[in-house]
Structure 1
Amino acid sequence: MKKASLILLLLSCSVIVFGQSKIDSALYKKLGAMFKEDQKWRIESAKLYNNQKSDYDRATVDKNWAIADKLNQDEAKNILTKYGYPGYSLVGESGSSKFWAIVQHCDDDIPFQQKVLLLMKKEVDRKNASGEDYAYLKDRVLTNLGQKQLYGTQGILNPKTKKWAPLPIINPTEVEARRKAMGMISLKQYIKEINTGN
């Protein structure tokens, strides 16, 4: 009995190791570096916006932010061409989400974002990418095109009340069902959480 248990344990460990060996560690590290640069200038910008101490002035932040986004966008296109959408099986959940975040910030190239959406949807359907990430990107593209969104992820902060509210939503009575299908919290809870942080 002990021998059988040991064999099963060894087999399960082999499966775990085998599963992990599929992760492209070089690509994962590249995505980590890209994401770090993506976030660095956004964090510095937020510090300046909130009158907090930053090692950079506004001009330096804005310049480096634009450079980082352009470099990341070019590299994201190369990655998409070479690998398709990098899902969990290629770079793990964390790596896949980092790629999504970079694409989310490619607002000056909506056709590229749309191309990513098509490939990403296939991976979401295979449970190989995040439905929630997909919903955010879908809404981002729709609102950038001047259309109503599906999931209510994109919104605007009222400068007077300091309260966030979603931009217009297609068939708002169905938004909760759409969000649930993507594994998201309710829109009501989402709005509450955003406004608690403001």
Structure 2
Amino acid sequence: MKIYAVLLLIVFSSLTTLAQKSINFELKKQLDSILQTDQGIREFVDSETSEKRKDTLAQFFNYPKEELKKQAWNIMPKIDSINLKKVEAIISKYGYPGKTLVGEPANTVVFYVIQHNPSKISQYYPLIEKAGKEGELPFKYTAMMLDRKLGQEGKEQVYGTQVYGVMINNPQTGKKEFFQYVIPIKNAKNVNKRRKKAGFDSTVEVNALRLGIVYKAYTKKEIDKIVKPKIN
């Protein structure tokens, strides 16, 4: 039994060493740094982020907290643009840097940066799709990008991850108001089955509430009628 234990220990040690060798730690470090800026600025503007945490984030971004509160939404697209240049260089060299190459959560970084640069989604979606199908990226991220891509194209989404807001004229009050909704979903009655299969741990209803919206399964025709009313 002792011999088997020693053999197992040797095998486990060898596998661990091989796994460590397969990870590109320099690239992982670079991606981790990008992720900090991408998610950090968004965490700062999140209404649920504590003031103490905002102090830490402001220090990270080298801004006085009150100044960052005023400038965060202007800083965000600049960060996204800088990060895009970095990940495009990474993609050109490595392809999609997935779980095998950089581990987790570094394998999500390229997804986030592309998702936050909407003009690049159509170009890079096939890369994200391939990474999701091959297990290099959790498939739910591929699903989110697919939904955003379809929304950009004026089509129904599949997993109900994307919401939208627009100013409309309320026909009852005659006043302008902000209207938020979950972008219409193809075969909406089965969306939660698809979400579960894709790896989401919440329903479309719960996800909408998390984003401050009470879910209603609008059709594209209904949304067009609300957002683009006919002028008599």
TM-score (norm 1): 0.80
Q: 1:171 maps to what in 2?
A: 187
Which of 133, 148, 152 is residue 141 of structure 2 equivalent to?
Answer: 133
- 1:97-108 matches, within 5 Å, as 97-107=108-118
Q: 1:92 maps to what in 2?
A: 103
The structure in which a higher percent of residues are helix is: 1
Structure 2 residue 7 is the aligned partner of structure 1 residue 7: yes
Classify 1:32/1:187 alpha carbon distance in 2 versus 1 (closer, same or farther; 3 Å): same
Shift of 1:45: 3.5
Q: 2:204 maps to what in 1?
A: 187
Structure 2 residue 154 is the aligned partner of structure 1 residue 146: yes
Q: Which moved more, 1:176-185 or 1:126-135?
A: 176-185
Whole-Å separation in 1 of the counterparts to 2:14 and 2:132? 27
> Does the Cα contact within 8 Å between 1:87 and 1:128 map onto a contact in 2?
yes
TM-align CA RMSD: 3.1
Whole-Å separation in 1 of the counterparts to 2:212 and 2:72? 26
Instruction: Map Cα deviations across residues 100-147 of structure 1 (whole Å, 9 max, x no partner).
Output: 11221012x2xx322322122222222221111111111112212322
- Partner SS state of residue 55, structure 1: helix
Classify 1:137/1:10 alpha carbon distance in 2 versus 1 (closer, same or farther; 3 Å): same
Equivalent residue pairs, number: 189
Whole-Å separation in 1 of the counterparts to 2:83 and 2:19? 28
- 1:51-90 matches, within 5 Å, as 54-57=65-68, 60-90=71-101
Amino acid at match of 1:187: V
> Does the Cα contact within 8 Å between 2:111 and 2:128 map onto a contact in 1?
no
Whole-Å separation in 1 of the counterparts to 2:112 and 2:204? 21
Q: Which moved more, 1:3-12 or 1:178-187?
A: 178-187
> Does the Cα contact within 8 Å between 2:132 and 2:141 map onto a contact in 1?
no
Give the % identical residues: 26
- Partner SS state of residue 80, structure 1: helix
Unaligned runs of 5+ in 1: none
Classify 1:153/1:27 alpha carbon distance in 2 versus 1 (closer, same or farther; 3 Å): same
Larger Rg, first or second structure (1 or 2): 2
Whole-Å separation in 2 of the counterparts to 1:157 and 1:64? 22
Structure 2 residue 163 is the aligned partner of structure 1 residue 155: yes
Shift of 1:96: 0.9
Instruction: Map Cα deviations across residues 23-75 of structure 1 (whole Å, 9 max, x no partner).
Output: 1111111111112122333234346xx99983325663233222211111111
Whole-Å separation in 1 of the counterparts to 2:165 and 2:25? 39
Shift of 1:87: 1.1
TM-score (norm 2): 0.70
Whole-Å separation in 2 of the counterparts to 1:11 and 1:69? 43
Instruction: Map Cα deviations across residues 119-176 of structure 1 (whole Å, 9 max, x no partner).
Output: 22222222221111111111112212322211001124799xxx97522111212322
> Does the Cα contact within 8 Å between 1:44 and 1:56 map onto a contact in 2?
no
Whole-Å separation in 1 of the counterparts to 2:23 and 2:136? 13
Amino acid at match of 1:174: N
Amino acid at match of 1:63: N
Unaligned runs of 5+ in 2: 56-64, 168-178, 214-232
